[in-house]
Amino acid sequence: MKQTINAMKAAGIVSLSLCSFFACKKAADKLSTEDQATTLELATSAGTSDALYGDVFDVVMQEGENGNIAGAREAACASVTITPADTETFPKTMVVDFGAGCVSSNGITRKGKFTATISGKLRKNGTTVTVVFGDYYVNGYKVEGNFSIANNSTANGISYTTTTQGGKITSPLGSYYNYSGTHTLTQTAGAGTITFDDDVFSLTGNSQSSTSAGKSLTVTITSPLIKKMNCKNIVSGVQSFTYLGFISGTLDYGDGTCDNKAVLKIGNSSTEITLPR
């Protein structure tokens, strides 16, 4: 989330877009200044949340693969402990501890830890992973809630479903919002190799973000999001959102370029946002 977007600027952006999408007076009658700012805030938070919980998926899959679901070691700057320490006994507990904070090779700063309970081999159909967070932060954002991964692969290919319930994201400035969502990741490349870095996934699904005051925004993926495991962020695809039943817009992740930018569009107005990793 780009920290320079304040409530006044957000209200102005949404007001302009509404004036071009509806009659200005009619929109003003329906929408308060606070709701104008909330629309932009929640639409931005949807992309932020997807990136942060997607980061948990990345770490679980990469560390599980790197450790072959066994042993204890140092991974980059994190301490990773997996017990029992053999390759065949399940379930296993994987603790990924970043301590007081460290920077990964691709520039992500994480601190704190999370614990993942893994029922079987990560690429095996039926395997489930449940994650519990322990004062865990990614680039200054605190990540909380119940996060799980289920391998629902078929003969046609590898597929995972991620579910976030009771999610909560607190920004470096102290503001927070709630999040829940379910997404299906279908592998489209990299299945023929043993490394995880060349994997590419197509994401579908939906989510909901809400403020502490209970105002919520619903998001649905209308063009599959493309996630490359060698890139920190989603590289393309579109999410559509609705707020208060009559405000709609999109979050467009681009043309496939690996960057941390996305374009938020409401009516005829658009603004570029910066994702948190």
Q: What is the mean pLDDT of residues 51-70?
A: 82
pLDDT at 192: 81
58 pLDDT more than 80? yes
Beta strands in 84-158 (DSSP E): 92-97, 102-103, 109-118, 128-138, 141-151
Of 56, 61, 52, nearest to 190 by C-alpha is 61
23 versus 186: which is more confidently predicted? 186
204 pLDDT more than 80? yes
Percent of the chain clearing pLDDT 90 (strictly above): 55
Write down the pTM of the prediction.
0.82
pLDDT at 25: 37
User: Which of the four pLDDT bands, split at 50, 70 and 90, describes residue 205?
Assistant: very high
User: Which of the four pLDDT bands, split at 50, 70 and 90, describes residue 242?
Assistant: confident
The amino acid present at 105, given as its one-letter code, is: S
The two structure tokens encoding residue 65: 């693969």
CA distance 136 to 129: 17
For the chain, report the end-to-end CA distance as a whole number of angstroms. Answer: 9
pLDDT at 69: 58
Q: What is the pLDDT of residues 66-125, one digit of tens each?
A: 766 544 444 557 899 999 988 889 999 999 999 999 898 888 999 999 999 999 999 899
Evaluate whether 216 touches 245 at the Cβ level (below 8 Å): no
Evaluate whether 188 touches 198 at the Cβ level (below 8 Å): no
pLDDT at 22: 38
**Mean pLDDT for the chain overall:** 83
Q: What is the mean pLDDT of residues 120-140?
A: 95
Beta strands in the chain (DSSP E): 71-75, 78-83, 92-97, 102-103, 109-118, 128-138, 141-151, 159-170, 176-189, 200-210, 216-228, 236-243, 247-255, 261-266, 269-274
Evaluate whether 203 touches 184 at the Cβ level (below 8 Å): yes
Q: What is the mean pLDDT of residues 144-151?
A: 98
Of 128, 188, 130, 181, nearest to 158 by C-alpha is 188
Percent of the chain clearing pLDDT 70 (strictly above): 83
pLDDT at 35: 65
pLDDT at 8: 29
CA distance 199 to 192: 9
Evaluate whether 130 touches 114 at the Cβ level (below 8 Å): no
* 253 to 45, 169, 233, 239: CA distances (angstroms): 14, 21, 9, 9
Evaluate whether 208 touches 219 at the Cβ level (below 8 Å): yes
Q: What is the mean pLDDT of residues 204-220?
A: 91
The amino acid present at 151, given as its one-letter code, is: N
220 pLDDT more than 50? yes
User: Which of the four pLDDT bands, split at 50, 70 and 90, describes residue 62?
Assistant: confident
Evaluate whether 11 touches 19 at the Cβ level (below 8 Å): no
